[in-house]
Amino acid sequence: MTALEKATGDVVFKFEPFVLHVLCRELHDAQLLHSVAVDSGFRNSGITVGRGGKIMMAVRSTHCLEVPLSHKGRLMVSEEYIEFLIHVANQKMEENI
C-alpha cells in the first residue's frame, strides 16, 4: 500500500497464468500432449511449428487477472478491494500448482 500511495502514474495489478513450453520431437507427441492439456482444463494451450521444423507445445492456463488500481497517481479502489484481489490471485496460484 505504501508503494501504491507514492505512485504518480498508472498502476495495474496483474497476475499472469501458468505457461509450460515443451519441445517435442514429433508432431504426434505435441498433439497427444495438447489433447491431455486441453482435457485437463488448460484451454489456451497450443502447438507451434517453427521455420526450422522445431515443434513447441505450450500448456497455458486461463487463470489471468489484470485490474487497474490507480490512474495518474490517484487511487481508484479501496484497500479492502486490493486485499480481495490478492486473495483471488493467491487462489489462482494454488490452481496453477
For residue 66, pLDDT over 90 is answered with yes
Mean per-residue pLDDT of the chain: 92
Question: Can you say whether the dihedral through the CA atoms of 37, 39, 40, 43 is positive or negative?
Answer: positive
Proportion of the chain above pLDDT 90, given as a percent: 72
Proportion of the chain above pLDDT 70, given as a percent: 100
pLDDT mean over 63-69 = 92
* Nearest of 64, 63, 84, 67 to residue 11 by alpha carbon: 67
Which of the four pLDDT bands, split at 50, 70 and 90, describes residue 1? confident
pLDDT mean over 71-87 = 94
3-state secondary structure the chain: CHHHHHCCCCEEEEECCCEEEEEECCHHHHHHHHHHHHHCCCCCCEEEECCCCCEEEEEECCCCEEEEEEECCEECCCHHHHHHHHHHHHHHHHHHC
